[in-house]
Amino acid sequence: METLAMHISNGIINGPVAGIFAAVALAALTFCVLRGRRDLDDRLAPMAGLVAAFIFAVQMLNFPIFTAGVSGHLLGGALAALLVGPWVGALCVSVVLIVQALVFGDGGVAMLGLNITNMALLGTAAAYLLIAGLLRVLPRTPTGLAVTAFVSALVSVVVASQGFVVQYWLGGTTDLGGNLTGLAGTMAGVHLLIGIGEGLITATTVATVAKVRPDLVYALRALRPATAPAPVPAVGGAR
C-alpha cells in the first residue's frame, strides 16, 4: 500500500459506481464553470489560482490527531468557499485533486469522480451553506469571521467523509457484513478530529487574508457588503 496516498485508491469502490460519480462530478463541475464565470474577473482569477496552489501545499502537511497512528490533512473546501466563493471554490479543489491524481499518483484516476464529489462538491457546498448562514447571524468582527471559518471547515470535513460512506454503501469492494454503520462511525469520529485541524488552518488563513486584504475575501464581499446599496466587488479604496 502506498503510505503517502491521501485519497480514494483504485479498487476500493467498484467500477460502475466510480463511473456514475465521474458523470455526476463532470456535470456538477460544468455547472460550476457556468456559475463561476460570473464571479471570475481579472482579480479573482489569479486569486483562485493561488487558492488552488495553497490547498495543494497544505494538503501535503499531514498533521497528527489525538488518535495514535492516524493523521489528517486539509481538504480545503471551506477555505476555497470563503476566499473565492462556492462555484470557483469547488473548481479550485477539483484542480488540486486532478493534479494529484494525474501527476502525483494520489487518488486513483478511475476514482477521481468519487474524490471530487466528496471533497470538492460536498465539502464546498456544506461549507458555503454554513458560511452564508453564520456570517449573517454572527457579529461583524474578525472573531465572527474566524468562528464562521472554523465551524464551516469542521462540518464540511465530516460531511465529505460521509460522502465516502454513501459511496462505499453503493459500491464498496469489501463486504462489511452489514456493518456500514461501523464504517460511518469510524469515518465520522476520525474526521471530527481532523475537522478541528481543518477549522484551525482555515480560520487562521482567512483571518490573515481578511486583515491584510479584506477585499480579497469573497464571503465578505458577497455576504457582508460594506455599504448596503452597492455590494459591487472590487471597488478600489472602499475599505
Partner 1 sequence: MRKRSWGFVAAGLLVALVLAGVVSNYASSHPDGLDSSLLKGCTVNADDEITGGSCPAQQAKDHELADSPLADYGIRGVDNGFLSTGLSGVAGVLLTFAVGGGVFWLLRRRGPADTPGTGQSPADGRHTGDRQTAGTAG
Tell me, residue by residue from 197 to 216, as one string, x for binding to partner 1 by CB under 8 A and - for no binding. ---------------xx-xx
CB 228, min distance to partner 1, A: 12
Quick one: 48 or 122, whose CB is closer to partner 1? Answer: 48
Q: Is 40 helix (H, G, I), strand (E, B) or coil?
A: coil
4-to-7, 55, 59 alpha-carbon distances in Å: 9, 17, 11
Cell numbers of 128, please? 458555503
Report the 10 Å Cβ neighbour count for 30: 10
232 binds partner 1 (CB under 8 A): yes
Phi-psi region of 105 (alpha: psi -120 to 50; beta: other; left: phi over 0): left
Size of the site for partner 1 (CB under 8 A): 101
Q: Select the residue interacting with partner 1 from 114, 187, 203, 206 (CB under 8 A).
A: 187
111 CA to centre of own chain: 17
Cα separation, 73 vs 63, in Å, equals: 6
How many Cα neighbours within 13 Å face the side chain of 99?
A: 13
Q: Write down the least CB distance from residue 72 to partner 1, Å.
A: 5
Which DSSP letter does residue 229 get? T
The one among 120, 127, 194, 196 contacting partner 1 by CB under 8 A: 194
Please choose, out of 18-26, 34-42, 138-146, 148-156, the segment that lies near partner 1 by the rule CB under 8 A.
34-42
Residue among 67 and 143 whose Cβ is closer to partner 1: 67
x/- letters, 145..174, toward partner 1 (CB under 8 A): ----------------x--x---x---xxx
- Please say whether the beta carbons of 13 and 171 come within 8 A: yes
Question: Given its phi and psi angles, is residue 218 left (phi above 0), alpha (psi -120 to 50 degrees) or beta?
Answer: alpha
Q: Is 78 in the site for partner 1 (CB under 8 A)?
A: no
Q: Which residue has the cell 469502490?
A: 13
Site for partner 1 in 102-121 (CB under 8 A): 102-106, 108-110
Which residue, 143 or 173, has its beta carbon nearer to partner 1?
A: 173
Among the candidate windows 17-25, 39-47, 140-148, which touches partner 1 by CB under 8 A? 39-47
From 19-27, 142-150, 188-196, span contacting partner 1 (CB under 8 A): 188-196
